[in-house]
């Protein structure tokens, strides 16, 4: 059998059915046949078909019983029920049991081909949705913190040691060294892990809005404040607030932050009441804060208060032994995300990666591997490294912030693009499902809502949203 043909198992006591299908559709699918339910269930285990065409009326086990048994198999193949005349009363039962389609005998081969393609397409979408969901979940909780080099083990052990104290932690390190990952690890390793982790990028929020964003505001506090709004500190109550790019916080706000650190309370913009919060503060920066202090851009009292524990993240060039692990991790992550064949890099390319200086640290390595996966060509590493050598990232001070803002936006774009893709896939799937169930219940909306396990009102809303109509 050619490898790329989809395997379809026909479970039917009438051998003509699988013969007719093989005759008509053998160029696209590989049909296997089982003469009864028992044989069919065995073949699901041994042959691993992607789809099953299941007759309802068979001697011995009925199609409905076979479907019930198949439902016990994890990740079972999709099932299209095939029924003879007068068996339409099984439609609802089959749908309830999770059959994807219902086809009447005698069928037209072209018609059944459309059903098969539709079900396979939906199956593919479903698996895309679940892998994207898993990916988003992973990126939203926190990505794995890869590395077992000595400097990384030290970082991990400090995180474990201080996670449960409420000491304020200042995470320092060059751009792309994993400061945000470290902050998330701190939260996840603490008793606060079931409570919110709230990230605020102090450099990305315009100066005049940052105070309202952090501390909230009262209705009427300024033009446009139509209602009272709580700030990020309140949202983080009982959890952790991560003040990223703390070195870019305006001086006037630094004193208010100091007050929160000392008294655990603050006043909303335009408010008079003290608001008490229980929040663990973690900050990060790649600015030289000592220099900022000497230039009167950062308060020294705040610096000492924030700096109860310093977590200095190593650069990637200080831990070249982690590069192979990171490469494998990103190859696996992005081949799954973009549904590409997994790739292994040649030792020549790996050597090149290990000896590179990585001014943009892990983010730069991650971006390169992402491109290798997308373009399915490890040799682009030569060009990427040569280009990185010609235009090295700035190595410190405020110019680094520019490079960082650029990459931050690309990360954001990725997240939005991924969310948008998920939204579209989910909507397409939902529309198809609702339309199927409506057709199968002859547009009995109450019955359909029940089968779909949604309220009647939601169903009416969805019908309108997806512009579905009863074609009959
Ligand atoms: N140890 C690690 N294991 C796996 N991925 C990592 C690791 N460290 C960082 N990364 C990845 O590298 C990228 C940059 O990490 P992160 O955003 O935490 O860096 P950063 O130090 O906050 O950088 P910046 O200063 O530019 O904000 C992210 O995509 C992150 O997932
Ligand atoms: Mg960061």
- Considering the domain architecture, whether residues 254 and 178 belong to the same structural domain is answered as yes
**Residue 30 CB neighbour total at 10 angstroms:** 19
Q: What angle do CA 241, 247, 249 make, to 5 degrees?
A: 70
Alpha-carbon distance of 288 to 435, in angstroms, equals: 59
- Considering the domain architecture, whether residues 65 and 199 belong to the same structural domain is answered as no
Could you tell me if residue 232 is inside a domain? yes
Report CA(371)–ligand 1 centroid distance (Å).
17
* HEC assignment per residue over 44-75: HHHHCCCEEEEECCCCCCCHHHHHHHHCCCCC
Q: Is 77 in the pocket of ligand 1 (CB under 6 A)?
A: no
- Considering the domain architecture, whether residues 156 and 293 belong to the same structural domain is answered as yes
Report the pLDDT value the prediction gives residue 181, as an integer from 0 to 100: 94
- Considering the domain architecture, whether residues 363 and 230 belong to the same structural domain is answered as no
- Considering the domain architecture, whether residues 155 and 300 belong to the same structural domain is answered as yes
Alpha-carbon distance of 321 to 315, in angstroms, equals: 12
Mutate to test the pocket of ligand 1, among 321, 332, 362 (most ligand atoms within 8 A of CB): 362
Beta-bridge partner residues of 169: 282, 309
Report CA(310)–ligand 1 centroid distance (Å).
18
pTM: 0.59
Report the pLDDT value the prediction gives residue 399, as an integer from 0 to 100: 34
Report CA(340)–ligand 1 centroid distance (Å).
23
Q: Which two tokens stand for residue 32?
A: 């296997």
Could you tell me if residue 145 is inside a domain? no
CATH at residue 454: 1.10.10
Could you tell me if residue 193 is inside a domain? yes
Report the pLDDT value the prediction gives residue 133, as an integer from 0 to 100: 64
Which domain covers residue 216, as residue numbers?
A: 150-314
Tally the domains of the chain.
4
Report the pLDDT value the prediction gives residue 85, as an integer from 0 to 100: 64
- Considering the domain architecture, whether residues 301 and 337 belong to the same structural domain is answered as no
DSSP letter assigned to residue 390: H
Per-residue burial over 431-443, b = 16 or more CB atoms within 10 Å of its CB, e = otherwise:
beebbbbbbbbeb
Instruction: Pick the atom of ligand 1 nearest to 404's CA.
Output: 26
Q: Is 362 in the pocket of ligand 1 (CB under 6 A)?
A: yes
Report the pLDDT value the prediction gives residue 409, as an integer from 0 to 100: 35
CATH at residue 163: 3.40.50.300
Could you tell me if residue 400 is inside a domain? no
In 3-state terms, what secondary structure has residue 149? coil
Report the pLDDT value the prediction gives residue 369, as an integer from 0 to 100: 95
Could you tell me if residue 405 is inside a domain? no
- Considering the domain architecture, whether residues 310 and 324 belong to the same structural domain is answered as no
Ligand that comes closest to the CA of residue 141: 1
Q: Is 360 in the pocket of ligand 1 (CB under 6 A)?
A: no
Report CA(258)–ligand 1 centroid distance (Å).
28
- Considering the domain architecture, whether residues 305 and 158 belong to the same structural domain is answered as yes
- Considering the domain architecture, whether residues 13 and 125 belong to the same structural domain is answered as yes
Alpha-carbon distance of 2 to 46, in angstroms, equals: 18
Among protein residues, the one whose CA lies closest to atom 28 of ligand 1 = 363
Report the pLDDT value the prediction gives residue 407, as an integer from 0 to 100: 32
CATH at residue 110: 3.40.50.2300
Ligand that comes closest to the CA of residue 315: 1
Where among 103, 137, 171 does a domain terminate?
Answer: 137
List Cα–Cα distances, 173 to 91, 254, 296, in angstroms: 62, 21, 22
- Considering the domain architecture, whether residues 162 and 95 belong to the same structural domain is answered as no
Report CA(368)–ligand 2 centroid distance (Å).
18
Report the pLDDT value the prediction gives residue 368, as an integer from 0 to 100: 94
Among protein residues, the one whose CA lies closest to atom 10 of ligand 1 = 178
Report the pLDDT value the prediction gives residue 254, as an integer from 0 to 100: 96
Q: Which residues in the chain show pLDDT less than 70?
A: 1-3, 85-88, 130-143, 390-425, 472
Where among 137, 166, 197 does a domain terminate?
Answer: 137
Report CA(304)–ligand 1 centroid distance (Å).
25
Report the pLDDT value the prediction gives residue 397, as an integer from 0 to 100: 35
- Considering the domain architecture, whether residues 331 and 303 belong to the same structural domain is answered as no
Alpha-carbon distance of 423 to 136, in angstroms, equals: 12
Peptide bond into 106 cis (omega under 30): yes
Distance of CA 113 to the CA centre of its chain: 33
Among protein residues, the one whose CA lies closest to atom 30 of ligand 1 = 178
Where among 137, 168, 195 does a domain terminate?
Answer: 137
pLDDT tens digits for range 31-85? 999 999 999 999 998 888 999 999 998 988 999 999 999 998 877 899 999 987 6
- Considering the domain architecture, whether residues 123 and 197 belong to the same structural domain is answered as no
Could you tell me if residue 210 is inside a domain? yes
Could you tell me if residue 407 is inside a domain? no
Could you tell me if residue 288 is inside a domain? yes
């Amino acid at each position: 059998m050619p490898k790329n043909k989809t395997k379809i198992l026909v479970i039917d006591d009438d051998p003509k059915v699988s013969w007719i299908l093989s005759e008509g559709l053998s160029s696209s699918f590989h049909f296997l046949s089982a003469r009864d339910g028992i044989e069919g269930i065995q073949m699901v285990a041994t042959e691993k078909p992607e789809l099953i065409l299941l007759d309802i009326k068979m001697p011995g086990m009925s199609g409905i019983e076979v479907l019930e048994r198949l439902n016990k198999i994890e990740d079972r193949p999709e099932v299209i029920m095939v029924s003879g005349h007068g068996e339409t009363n099984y439609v609802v039962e089959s749908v309830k049991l999770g059959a994807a389609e219902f086809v009447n005998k005698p069928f037209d081969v072209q018609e059944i081909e459309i059903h098969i393609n539709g079900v396979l397409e939906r199956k593919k979408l479903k698996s895309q949705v679940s892998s994207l969901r898993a990916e988003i979940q992973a990126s939203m909780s926190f990505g794995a913190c890869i590395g077992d080099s000595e400097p990384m083990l030290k970082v991990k052990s400090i995180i474990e040691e201080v996670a449960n104290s409420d000491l304020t932690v200042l995470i320092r390190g060059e751009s792309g060294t994993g400061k945000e990952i470290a902050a998330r690890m701190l939260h996840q390793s603490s008793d606060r892990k079931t409570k919110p982790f709230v990230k605020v990028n102090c450099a990305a929020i315009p100066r005049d809005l940052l105070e309202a964003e952090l501390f909230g505001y009262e209705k009427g506090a300024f033009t446009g404040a139509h209602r009272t709004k709580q700030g990020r500190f309140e949202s983080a109550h009982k959890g952790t607030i991560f003040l990223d790019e703390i070195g870019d916080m305006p001086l006037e706000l630094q004193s208010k932050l100091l007050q929160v650190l000392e008294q655990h309370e603050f006043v909303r913009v335009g408010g008079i009441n003290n608001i008490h919060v229980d929040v663990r503060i973690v900050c990060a920066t790649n600015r030289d804060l000592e220099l900022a202090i000497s230039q009167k851009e950062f308060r020294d009292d705040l610096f000492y208060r924030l700096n109860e524990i310093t977590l200095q993240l190593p650069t990637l060039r200080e831990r070249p032994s982690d590069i192979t692990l990171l490469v494998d991790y990103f190859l696996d992550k992005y081949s799954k995300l973009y549904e590409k064949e997994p790739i292994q890099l040649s030792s020549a390319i790996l050597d090149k990666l290990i000896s590179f200086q990585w001014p943009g640290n892990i983010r730069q390595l991650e971006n390169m591997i992402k491109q290798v996966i997308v373009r399915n060509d490890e040799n682009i590493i030569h060009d990427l490294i040569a280009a990185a050598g010609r235009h090295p990232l700035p190595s410190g001070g405020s110019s680094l912030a520019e490079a960082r803002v650029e990459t931050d936006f690309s990360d954001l774009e990725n997240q939005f693009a991924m969310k948008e893709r998920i939204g579209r896939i989910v909507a397409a799937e939902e529309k198809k499902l609702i339309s199927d169930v409506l057709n199968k219940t002859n547009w009995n909306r109450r019955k359909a809502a029940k089968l779909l396990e949604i309220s009647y009102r939601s169903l009416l809303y969805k019908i309108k949203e997806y512009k579905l109509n009863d074609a009959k």
